[in-house]
Amino acid sequence: ARRRSRLRLRLVLPLGDRGVAGPVAKNLWLALGSTAVFVFAGATLLLRISQPLLRRLEETERQLRALVVTLEAKAGDLARTNQELDDFTYVASHDLKEPLRGISAYCDILLDEYRDKLDDNGRRMMTTLVELCGRLSHLIDDLLAYCRVGRTPEAADLDLDEVLDEVLVTLGPAIDARGGRVRRLNRLPVVRGDATLLGMVLQNLISNGLKFNDSASPTVEVEVLDGQRPTIVVRDNGIGIEPRHHEAVFAMFRRLHARNKYEGTGAGLSIARKIVENHGGRMWLESQPGQGSAFFFTLPAVVGGERGNCKLQNAKCKLAMSSVPHHQPELAAIEA
C-alpha cells in the first residue's frame, strides 16, 4: 500500500505545465510516491514530483529539525550563562562590597572619636583609606555594569528623542551646576534598541562633554546625520583628545588625566562602546586638543517607524546620578 503522511507545506515551488487546478481543500495529503498536492491562492494544484526531489526535501527537513535542536540547546546554555552572571553580580554587589563598607565605617569612627589621638599624618592616612574604599567600591560597580551590558539587549522600537529627554532630566542639576547647556540640533530617529542602555550611552557622552571642559560656557550638541544607518553625534567644546589616544579612551579603566583633576574610574566610554556594539552599531570619535570632541555611534534604523507608537521600555527604570561623593554620574540604571 502506498504510504501517506499529513504534512504542512510552507514552500513556494516553481509550477510547471503539469499542475491541474481543482476544488479548494483545507486538509492536504502528500503521497510519498510521485504526486504532491499544494494549495496556492485558494486553488488545489496537483503536481508530479520526482523521487530525487522528494528525497532532497526530506533531507532538508531532517537538517532543519537538527538545527532546531541545536538552537534550543544553545538557548539553554545562554540562559544558564545569564543566570550565572546574575549570581555573580549578586555576590559581587553584596558580599564583596560588605567588607569595604565595614573598613570605611571603622575609619570614619576612628576619625570622629579618636581624632585628637591621631597626629596630622595619621588623620591624613585615615582619610585616604576612606577615599580608597570608596574608589574600590565604584570600580566594582563599574565592572558589574560592564558585565551586565554584555547581555543581549531588550530591543524594541523606541524614539531616541524620548530617551534623550529622560537623560536631560537626570543631568539637569549637573548641567546647571556647570553653567552649561545641551543643544539638540535636529530630531533624533526611531531606532531599534534598549531604552535604558542607550540612555546610559547618551548620559555618559553628555556628562563627559561637560566634565572634560574648561570653557566658560560648556556646550554639548546632539544631532543625527543622514545616511543608510542613523549616526548620532555628541559634540562638545571641551579640552579635546590627542589623536594617538582616540582608541585608548575606550579601554576599560583607562584614564588620560590625573584623578585629582577629573573624577571617575575610566570605565564609562568602554561601557558605552560595548552597548553600541551589542546593538549592532559602532562608536568612534574625532577630536583635537583644544578643539573639543565629537563622538559618533550608529544604530539599526526602524523602517517606517512611527514616533507615536514608540514608548520607553521599563517605564519605572530611570537613569540616575550616584549620590556618592566623587563618583562620576554615568553608569547604572536603578529602579524608581
pLDDT by residue (tens digit) across 195-209?
Answer: 888 988 998 899 888
Sequence-distant (6+) residues with CB within 8 A of 119 are none
What pLDDT was estimated at residue 50? Answer: 60
* Rounded-to-integer distance, Cα 235 and Cα 296, Å: 9
| pLDDT tier at 271, thresholds 50, 70, 90 | confident
Q: Is the pLDDT of residue 62 over 80?
A: yes
Return the pLDDT at 308.
53
How far apart CA 270 and CA 277 sit, in angstroms, is 11
pLDDT digits (tens, 9 = 90+) for 92-115: 666 777 778 888 888 888 888 888
pLDDT of residue 127: 84
Q: Which residue has the cell 530630531?
A: 187
Give pLDDT, residue 301. 72
What's the mean pLDDT in 230-235? 91
Say if residue 165's pLDDT is above 70.
yes
Q: Specify the pLDDT at position 315.
A: 39
pLDDT tier at 164, thresholds 50, 70, 90: very high
Predicted local confidence at residue 324, as pLDDT: 28
Highest mean pLDDT: which of 226-235, 246-255, 282-291? 282-291
The predicted pLDDT at position 32 comes to 36
Tell me what pLDDT residue 306 has: 56
Has this prediction a pTM greater than 0.85? no
Instruction: Note the pLDDT of residue 310.
Output: 55
- Among 289, 255, 291, which residue's Cα sits nearest to residue 270? 255
Nearest to 207 by CA among 250, 255, 174, 240: 174
Whether the CB-CB separation of 163 and 199 falls below 8 Å is answered with yes
Phi, psi of 144 (to 5 degrees): -65, -40
Report phi then psi at 284, rounded to 5: -150, 175
- Say whether pLDDT at 3 is over 70: no
- Summary mean pLDDT of the chain: 72
CA 40: distance to chain centroid?
43
- Where b means 16+ CB within 10 Å and e means fewer, 193-203 reads bbbbbbbbbbb
More confident residue, 258 or 314: 258
Compute the distance between CA of residue 11 and CA of residue 261 in angstroms, rounded to an integer. Answer: 65
- Looking at residue 317, its pLDDT comes to 38
pLDDT at 238: 87
